[in-house]
């Protein structure tokens, strides 16, 4: 299970998508994001964020 806090997610979003994008998403993210959860993955997709993009920014491989 891959879980990020909102602060961790915003740090990754800044790195993957830039500071402006991270700032615009900050108010729409939950306090805890489970990247293995279908609901959280759908939410990210609705916000234009991909799970793969987050993993790439983290330097991880799927």
Strand-pair partners of 5: 32
Instruction: Please provide the average confidence, as pLDDT, over all residues in the chain.
Output: 85
pLDDT for residue 61:
45
Q: What is the 3-state secondary structure (H, E, C) of the chain?
A: CCEEEHHHHHHHHHHHHCHHHHHHHHHHCCCEEECCCHHHHHHHHHCCCCHHHHHHHHCCCC
* pLDDT of 56 above 90: no
Show the domain range for 34: 3-58
Tell me, yes or no, if the pTM score tops 0.85: no
pLDDT in tens, 17-52: 889 989 999 999 999 999 889 998 898 888 888 877
Q: How many domains does the chain have?
A: 1
When pLDDT is cut at 50, 70 and 90, the band that residue 60 belongs to is low
């Amino acid at each position: 299970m891959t879980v990020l806090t909102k602060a961790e997610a915003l740090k990754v979003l800044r790195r993957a998508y830039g500071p402006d994008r991270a700032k615009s998403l900050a108010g729409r993210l939950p306090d805890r994001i489970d990247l293995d959860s279908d609901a959280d993955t759908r939410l990210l997709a609705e916000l234009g964020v991909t799970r793969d993009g987050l993993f790439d920014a983290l330097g991880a491989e799927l």
